[in-house]
Amino acid sequence: MRSKWLGALLSAVVVGMVMPAAALAAKPAATTGTPSKLTFSSVRLRGSVDPNKQNTTYYFQYGTTIALGTQTAQFPAGNGDKAVPARIDVTALAPATKYYYRLVAHNNSGTALGKRRSFTTKKQPLGVTLVATPNPVPARNTATLLKGNLSGTGNAGRKVVLQSTVWPYTLPFQSISNEQVTDATGNFAFPLLAGAVTQNTQFRVAMPERPAVVSPIVLFGVKPYVKSKVSKHRVQRGHLVRFSGSITPRAADQQVAFQKKHNGQWVTVGGDTRLSGGKFSKNVRIRRGGTFRVWTGSSAGQYASNVGKKLKIKTFR
Q: Above pLDDT 90, what percent of the chain?
A: 78
DSSP letter at 109 equals: T
19 versus 293: the higher-pLDDT residue is 293
Tell me the average pLDDT across 160-166. Answer: 95
Q: Residue 32 contacts by C-beta under 8 Å, 6 or more apart in sequence?
A: 47, 101, 102, 103, 114, 115, 116, 117
All domains of the chain, ordered by start, with CATH?
A: 6-120 (2.60.40.10), 127-222 (2.60.40.10), 224-316 (2.60.40.10)
Over residues 96-117, the pLDDT tens digits come to 899 999 999 999 999 999 999 9
Q: Give me the helices (H) in the chain, please.
A: 2-24
User: In degrees rounded to 5, what are phi and psi of residue 139?
Assistant: -70, -15
pTM of the predicted model as reported, rounded to 2 decimal places: 0.71
pLDDT band per the 50, 70, 90 thresholds, residue 246: very high
Cβ atoms of 75 and 110 closer than 8 Å: no
Cβ atoms of 140 and 149 closer than 8 Å: no
Cβ atoms of 78 and 55 closer than 8 Å: yes
